[in-house]
Structure 1
Amino acid sequence: MSNLKILVVEDEPIMQERLVNMLYHAGANQVVAKEDVSGARAAFDSDRFQIILLDLGLPDGNGLELMEEFKAAKSEQHIVLVTADDSIESIQKAISAGANGYVVKPYSQEKIYDVVNNYVMVHSSDVDMVQGLNRRH
């Protein structure tokens, strides 16, 4: 299986732990979790992630602005915003700013599988990896 490395930026400890567990179950090989903008920047600068799950509301900054910063630095990043804000306006703003997806909290295991599968289907020619992920559903 290909090495699937994911960065999670979520400031709520329970939600962060739940999301990390879901991602491992969905097929991630490595998940790095950070709870704020400064930690996310440090992780982003020191490693390469295929997927970034990014909360909009962080204690030391705005997730949307951080996403734009990440996209400007490495445009191939697959960034999915995770938030409790389910307004159409917020979703449209995120997508137009370059988000590759938008997941509303509380998120289900199925939604997290979808995030991983969508990335793999678009970015991987590794058929065994896709089949392995599909068997986990």
Structure 2
Amino acid sequence: MKVLLVDDSGVMRKIIARSLNALWIDEVVEAGDGADALKKFGDGTGFDLVLTDWNMPVMNGLELVQAIRGAGHKLPIMMVTTETEKEQVLKAIQAGVNDYLVKPFDQEMLTMKLERVLPNPQSA
């Protein structure tokens, strides 16, 4: 399974990547902002999931989600962020986010969210 992990914090990317690798995710491609993520995403081939922060420089997570959905990609996208206001959550859902994970989170919460957005995740 291949995941695009987008966060402007290198420390947060390492924490999340480690958590993903402890599960069934075997490949994590990291990006520091939405623009970098779009370059690495390319045509989307081979990616099973996008995990993105909201607040980032250059291109934020919401803009990234809109770009991916605007190009017609249907893969699951999860917003991983500190944004918890109802209005922000609704914006993310309207943009095409499949689920929302609030920082800080633990391994159990990450696993539960991944199992909700990925069909048969451990067999992928």
Cα offset for 1:115? 2.8
- The corresponding residue for 2:78 is 80
Alpha-carbon distance in 1 for matches of 2:106, 2:96: 23
User: Given residue 129 of structure 1, which amino acid in structure 2 is its aligned partner?
Assistant: S
Alpha-carbon distance in 1 for matches of 2:93, 2:108: 21
Higher helix proportion, which one? Answer: 1
Alpha-carbon distance in 2 for matches of 1:6, 1:108: 18
Cα offset for 1:74? 3.6
Cα offset for 1:68? 0.9
Cα offset for 1:98? 1.1
List structure 1 segments (4+ residues) > 2 angstroms apart after TM superposition: none
User: Given residue 113 of structure 2, which amino acid in structure 1 is its aligned partner?
Assistant: V
Q: Residue 58 of structure 2 is aligned with which of 51, 57, 60?
A: 60
Alpha-carbon distance in 1 for matches of 2:61, 2:67: 10
TM-score (norm 2): 0.89
SS at match of 1:61: coil
Consecutive unaligned residues of structure 2, counting only runs of 5 or more, are none
Kept after mapping to 1: 8 A contact 2:98/2:117: no
Kept after mapping to 2: 8 A contact 1:11/1:35: yes
- The corresponding residue for 2:97 is 99
- The corresponding residue for 1:134 is none
TM-score (norm 1): 0.81
Kept after mapping to 2: 8 A contact 1:70/1:77: no
Cα offset for 1:79? 0.4
Consecutive unaligned residues of structure 1, counting only runs of 5 or more, are 131-137
- The corresponding residue for 2:39 is 42
- The corresponding residue for 1:108 is 106
- The corresponding residue for 2:12 is 15
RMSD of aligned C-alpha atoms? Answer: 1.9
Give the fraction of aligned pairs with identical amino acids, expressed as a percent. 30
Kept after mapping to 2: 8 A contact 1:68/1:97: yes
